[in-house]
Amino acid sequence: MFSLNPVRLALGLVGAVLVRVGLIERERVEHSLDLASPRIVTGLARMSKSTADVAMVGIALGPAAIAGVGYAAPFWGIAFALGGGVAGGTIGLVSQRFGAGAHEELAQSVKVSVLLAVAITLPITLLFALVPGVLVDLIGSGESATAFGTDYLRVVSVGVPFAALNLVGSRTLVGADDAWSPMVLRGGGAVVNIVVNAVLIFGLGMGVVGAAIGTVVANVLVTAGFAAGLARGRLPGVGELPVRIPLSGPHLDRDLLANLREISTPLIATNLARSGGQFPKIFIVGLFGPNVVAAYVVAMRVRGLMDTPNWGFSMASSSLVGQALGQDDEREAGAWASDIMRFSLAAYALIAVGVLVFVDPIARVFVDEPAILPLVTTFLTVAAVSILFNGVYGASTGPLRASGDTRWPMYAQLAGLYLFTLPVAYLGAVTSIGIAALYAAIVLEMAVPAAITYYRYRSDTWKVVSRDYRPDAAATTD
């Protein structure tokens, strides 16, 4: 567990300060860290890989290559929108059957999840591979940048189904109460990705194509790891897994497939609505020129790294608040939600201050050209300020999801993106307000969802909503 220790140690120190000033109980710090730490490490690994892509192509080829990868990123994000939707259904089916000891149905649930993930991502793979230039040209600007984006998307298209399958494999194990094994596999894949990138980009001079190949190779290897581990019921160096998926038939259960489609369709729709907003957003950013696109892409990748605590704190809040609600203890549920909110905000504040203090050296990791460096530092500064709001959003969303009050987080995300972020950014592109509007849009993208979800969280309505989803409610209905 060595790789986990630095994260747990750092967050433990934050928690210790909060305990010392009486803002959170020590037991709550320990319990929340048990659940949050593995997911945060997974997030750090995944986002580090994405950030390394940008940093390496920037060092090797300059701002135009960074912009090109940025133009391809929303298309690559579709793999996670589709795969994440299917995986969201997978974790529900798996966790219920794992708890009931229904191992045969559990295995069937995973198999239909794999079939559905492949079926909906293969057409996307073919589209990206056959007409990448047409797609990138729809949102990109600048001949050099769009050429880089086209090359990157053509190659990375091969990895789309594997990225979706990785999410299915990860959620399968998490649904069976194992967050450690997915962390090891996906974290290891991120390390492989970075190493392969370095060899192909700097050693062989393959540029953005090398970065894309690194992403594909890593996703294929991680998928192979999940497949082999689940088929054998164990992973070398990790040990026994909580579930085993036999390779023998049957492979298709139509009833389970129907259930999976019913659960996953709203999740996919929400993910696509959120991901779809990235296309007009990067198009609008492109109206400011390739250098602004490059600075924006760098800031968003770094913001993704800063946001990794939400991977853990939001999930921990959902789990611990949900357990308290399941015991009909609304007071305890509220106490868990409040304590994790304080814990999350303290961690985010520390991260934001750290980035603000070291903003210049962070910017130089990606670019060193005088013409763009001040732009990158400004975008990074704005991103660091905006991340505080996402800490509020993640901590507020945890109890809402735990209670079944899941529509408000969706409304919040869509309102922030479509009603505020995109209109404000576009206003800057077509008026004299200029790039200042883009900075405001970056903050609004985080602040609006945070305000909406926090309002819902503070209303305590989620506790009332949860009464319809608790075990005793189900028993009464039956």
Q: What is the pLDDT of residues 402-432, one digit of tens each?
A: 677 777 888 888 899 999 999 999 999 999 9
CA dihedral (385, 389, 394, 399) positive or negative? positive
Mean pLDDT of 201-207: 91
pLDDT value at 1 more than 50: no
- Report DSSP state, residue 165: H
Confidence of residue 95 (pLDDT cuts 50, 70, 90): low
CB neighbours of residue 450 within 10 Å: 22
Count of CA atoms in the C-beta half-sphere (13 A) of 226: 29
Q: Which of 343, 277, 285, 279 is nearest to 309 (CA)?
A: 343
Residues 6+ apart with CB under 8 A from 61: 148, 207, 208
Would you state the pLDDT for residue 470? 54
Check residues 388 and 107 and name the one with the higher pLDDT.
Answer: 388
For the chain, how big is the Rg over CA atoms in Å? 22
Pairing of strands 239-240, 234-235: antiparallel
What is the percent of the chain with per-residue pLDDT over 90, rounded to a whole number? Answer: 37
Give yes or no for a cis peptide into 250 (omega within 30° of 0). Answer: yes
Q: pLDDT exceeding 70 applies to what percent of the chain? A: 94
Kindly state the average pLDDT of the residues 205-214. Answer: 92
Query: Residues 437, 438, 439, 444: is their CA dihedral positive or negative?
Result: positive
Strand partners, 235: 239
* Mean pLDDT of the region 227-232: 90
Q: Helix (H, G, I), strand (E, B), or coil: what is residue 153?
A: helix
Closest residue by Cα to residue 439 from 321, 322, 285: 285
Average pLDDT taken over every residue of the chain: 85
Q: What is the DSSP letter of 157?
A: G
- Position 151 scores a pLDDT of 95
Q: Is the pLDDT of residue 299 over 80?
A: yes
Biggest CA-to-CA distance, the chain: 68
pTM of this structure: 0.78
DSSP state of 420: I
Q: Which residues contact 252 (CB under 8 A, 6 or more apart)?
A: 111, 112, 115
Q: Which amino acid is at 250?
A: P
pLDDT at residue number 443: 96
User: At residue 386, does pLDDT exceed 60?
Assistant: yes
Q: Between the CA atoms of 282, 283, 285 and 287, what dihedral angle is there, to the nearest 10 degrees? A: 160
Please give the pLDDT value at position 96.
63
Contact predicate 394/313, CB 8 Å: yes
pLDDT one-digit tens code per residue, 434-465: 999 999 999 999 999 999 999 999 998 988 88
Please tell me the predicted confidence (pLDDT) of residue 456: 93
Residue 249 in this model has a pLDDT that exceeds 80: no
Q: Given this model, what pLDDT does residue 80 score?
A: 83
Q: Can you list the alpha helix ranges (DSSP code H) found in 21-142?
A: 26-61, 63-100, 103-130, 132-139
Does residue 325 or residue 29 have the better pLDDT? 29
The answer to whether residue 264 scores a pLDDT higher than 50 is yes
Tell whether the model's pLDDT for residue 313 goes beyond 80.
yes
Q: Is residue 1 exposed (0-12), middle (13-18) or buried (19+ Cβ within 10 Å)?
A: exposed
Virtual torsion, Cα 29, 31, 32, 35, nearest 10 deg: 150
C-alpha to C-alpha distance for 216 and 196, rounded to whole angstroms: 10
Whether the pLDDT of residue 267 is over 80: the answer is no
Exposed/middle/buried for 414, CB within 10 Å: 0-12, 13-18, 19+?
Answer: middle
**What pLDDT is recorded for position 2?**
38
* Position 476 confidence tier, pLDDT thresholds 50, 70, 90: very low
Say what the pLDDT of residue 106 is: 81
Element holding 279 (H helix, E strand):
helix 278-286
Alpha helices (runs of H) in 140-253, residue ranges in sequence order: 143-156, 160-175, 180-198, 207-232
